[in-house]
């Protein structure tokens, strides 16, 4: 219950931070905001990414932000990454508790820690999606660093939650992507 309450508070704070920046813009403006009408390599990469994750954004600006590291722009993926991490944690908690309501808090915590590890879980999933080749970073930042890839990976699910207005939808897309790797982190 505490996890759900914390998630709700975090989601509300994150939404308040992001929504004013995109509120009042048409879907067309969000898709083409400050990027022109030509198909840039970045736009093409976002199209490929949408196919890989199996989700087409209504507001492509959210995916653009999810693929923008803080070293590249002040309009970046930090808040979306925090929201995505919370969605992943909540979704994993639900999964494990639905499988075994008697799971000890220690076992649940260990499994949540495993699914949240930067180097062994979200960076691996993000690298499999090719995020290291898509995320926009400054020239001094290594786009293949696990923390950069993991942040972008988590931000995708924060962006999906805002795009659909439903954190459960984002959790479903996380499982579709995460389960696609051999065995996922669920093998227990």
Quote the pLDDT of residue 28: 41
Question: Residue ranges of the alpha helices (H) in 23-72?
Answer: 27-32, 41-53, 60-66
Does domain 2-178 correspond to CATH entry 1.10.1520.10?
yes
Residues 37-66 pLDDT 10s: 457 999 999 999 999 999 999 999 999 999
Q: Look up the pTM and report it.
A: 0.75
Dihedral of the alpha carbons of 166, 168, 170, 172, in degrees to the nearest 10: -150
Using an 8 Å Cβ cutoff, are 49 and 132 in contact? no
| 65-124: pLDDT as tens digits | 999 999 999 999 999 999 999 999 999 999 999 999 999 999 999 998 888 778 778 889
Structural domain boundaries of the chain?
Answer: 2-178
């Amino acid at each position: 219950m505490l996890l759900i309450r914390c998630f709700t508070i975090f989601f509300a704070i994150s939404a308040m931070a992001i929504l004013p920046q995109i509120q009042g813009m048409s879907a067309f403006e969000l898709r083409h905001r400050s990027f022109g009408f030509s198909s840039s390599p970045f736009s093409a990469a976002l199209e490929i990414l949408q196919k890989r994750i199996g989700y087409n954004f209504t507001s492509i600006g959210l995916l653009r932000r999810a693929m923008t590291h803080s070293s590249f722009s002040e309009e970046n993926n930090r808040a979306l990454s925090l929201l995505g991490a919370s969605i992943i944690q909540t979704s994993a908690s639900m999964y494990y508790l639905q499988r075994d309501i008697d799971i000890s808090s220690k076992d649940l915590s260990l499994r949540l820690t495993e699914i949240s590890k930067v180097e062994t879980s979200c960076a691996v999933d993000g690298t499999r999606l090719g995020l290291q080749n898509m995320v926009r970073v400054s020239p001094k930042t290594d786009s293949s660093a696990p923390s950069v890839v993991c942040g972008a990976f988590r931000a995708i699910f924060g962006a999906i939650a805002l795009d659909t207005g439903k954190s459960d939808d984002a959790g479903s897309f996380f499982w579709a992507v995460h389960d696609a790797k051999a065995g996922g982190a669920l093998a227990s």
